[in-house]
């Protein structure tokens, strides 16, 4: 490949990079694996540029490569993949949150909402690919068939089955708020203040009666306000043990957490006007380091002052 051709490919690839990354994340549910898929897609595109059939758009061709790389990754997971006998609330051990860029105009928040991404993992891999290409990326049935080596009737059949399965695994968002909502920011601030102050009563006040806590990678989950409190209250420890910083993941409010000065992980909140619906916990120090929008908050000084500072920082943004 000559320099002009390589330059043309690189320009086309950079235009689609963020979209390819989001697509790979939806397919895999894993942020770091999605990054690897994007890099692999570029390498494969470089190797295959000379064989590109010009009847296909470069965009369609790049998504075809990325989708098939994702299918290979899923196949390589073997029995780690979610099987059809698992319920809609089961989380794969590889699941990771998706960082949002406020300037990103490519990735719609709804398309990476955590419940949607988890629901996708319950679909057969090719059904997942068909649904994403058709309904998120707006590929035609013919373009989707070309990307996956499927006939148009097969694409339509797979899409119908995928829609039916997804409606069971990922219910519609209904009243769920995204991270930009003032009410969502308020609930996040109150959640953070409660944990920093080790205040179980304040934590109770932000939870809905049907709230849940889902630790990723753990077989346990906690459904209902009282179950959430039974899990959380001992974990709060002493006032000042937890420090938190606000961020956004999957288009939802999230908190980066440090425990006794060490990075702990990320909590992604699903919120509605009447309180926190769900808390998805990612206990992973590397995620805390990569999601932190700022340095770790200052050391604890007093429960009142720090909680007030954190609340004002969130609500006044």
Q: Residue range 95-121: average pLDDT?
A: 76
Residue with tokens 């590109």: 52
What's the distance, CA 96 to chain centroid? 6
Q: Residue range 112-133: average pLDDT?
A: 91
* pTM, 2 dp: 0.81
Strands 242-249 and 222-223, bridge-based pairing: unpaired
Nearest to 207 by CA among 219, 220, 195: 195
The 3 state secondary structure assigned to 173-233 is CCCCECCCCHHHHHHHHHHHHHHHCCCHHHHHHHEEEEEEEEECCCCCCEECHHHHHHHHH
Tell me the C-alpha distance between 26 and 21, whole Å.
Answer: 9
Q: Residue 190 above 90 pLDDT?
A: yes
b/e map 271-308, b = 16+ CB within 10 Å? bbeebbbbbbbbbbeebbebbbeeebbeebeeeeebbe
Q: Residue 200 above 80 pLDDT?
A: yes
Tell me the C-alpha distance between 225 and 211, whole Å.
Answer: 5
Whole-number average pLDDT of the chain = 84
CB-facing half-sphere around the CA of 1: CA atoms within 13 A: 18
Tell me the C-alpha distance between 3 and 221, whole Å.
Answer: 54
Q: Residue range 134-152: average pLDDT?
A: 94
Nearest to 185 by CA among 278, 247, 240, 266: 247
Q: Residue range 135-151: average pLDDT?
A: 93
Any bridge partners for residue 280, and if so which? 214, 268
User: Which two structure tokens, joined as six digits, stand for 149?
Assistant: 């080596």
User: Which two structure tokens, joined as six digits, stand for 171?
Assistant: 């219910």
Tell me the C-alpha distance between 31 and 272, whole Å.
Answer: 25
pLDDT at site 303: 46
Percentage of the chain exceeding pLDDT 90: 54
pLDDT at site 314: 52
Q: Residue 140 above 90 pLDDT?
A: yes
User: Which two structure tokens, joined as six digits, stand for 52?
Assistant: 């590109």
User: Which two structure tokens, joined as six digits, stand for 225?
Assistant: 């306000």
Q: Residue 304 above 70 pLDDT?
A: no
Between 107 and 209, whose confidence is greater? 209
Q: Residue 80 above 50 pLDDT?
A: no
Q: Residue 137 above 60 pLDDT?
A: yes
Nearest to 95 by CA among 275, 272, 265, 293: 265
Full set of structural domains in the chain with CATH: 3-169 (1.20.140.160), 182-315 (3.10.450.50)
pLDDT at site 110: 74
Residue 178 pLDDT class (50, 70, 90 cuts):
confident
Q: Residue range 101-128: average pLDDT?
A: 78
Torsional sign, CA 215, 217, 223, 229: negative
Q: Residue range 132-136: average pLDDT?
A: 95
């Amino acid at each position: 490949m000559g320099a002009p051709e390589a330059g043309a490919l690189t320009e086309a690839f950079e235009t689609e990079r963020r979209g390819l990354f989001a697509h790979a994340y939806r397919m895999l549910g894993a942020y770091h694996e999605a990054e690897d898929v994007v890099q692999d897609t570029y390498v494969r595109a470089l190797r295959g540029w000379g064989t590109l059939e010009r009847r296909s758009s470069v965009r369609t061709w790049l998504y075809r490569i990325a989708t098939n790389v994702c299918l290979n990754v899923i196949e390589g997971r073997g029995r780690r993949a979610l099987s059809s006998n698992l319920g809609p609330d089961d989380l794969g051990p590889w699941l990771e949150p998706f960082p949002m860029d406020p300037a990103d105009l490519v990735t719609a928040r709804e398309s990476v909402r955590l419940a949607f991404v988890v629901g996708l993992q319950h679909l057969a891999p090719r059904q997942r690919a068909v649904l994403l290409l058709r309904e998120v990326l707006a590929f035609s049935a013919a373009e989707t068939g070309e990307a996956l080596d499927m006939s148009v009737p097969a694409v339509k059949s797979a899409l119908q089955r995928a829609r039916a399965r997804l409606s069971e695994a990922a219910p519609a968002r209904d009243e769920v708020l995204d991270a930009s909502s003032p009410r969502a920011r308020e609930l996040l601030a109150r959640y953070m203040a409660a944990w920093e102050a080790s205040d179980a009563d304040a934590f109770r006040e932000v939870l809905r009666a049907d709230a849940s806590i889902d630790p990723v990678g753990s077989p346990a989950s906690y459904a209902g306000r009282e179950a959430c409190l039974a899990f959380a209250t001992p974990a709060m420890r002493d006032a000042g043990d937890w420090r938190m910083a606000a961020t956004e993941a999957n288009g939802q409010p999230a908190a980066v957490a440090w425990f006794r000065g060490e990075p702990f992980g990320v909590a992604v909140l699903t919120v509605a006007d009447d309180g926190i619906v769900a808390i998805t916990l990612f206990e992973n120090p590397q995620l805390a380091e990569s999601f932190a929008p700022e340095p770790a908050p200052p050391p604890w000084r007093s429960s009142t002052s720090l909680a007030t500072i954190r609340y004002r920082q969130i609500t006044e943004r």
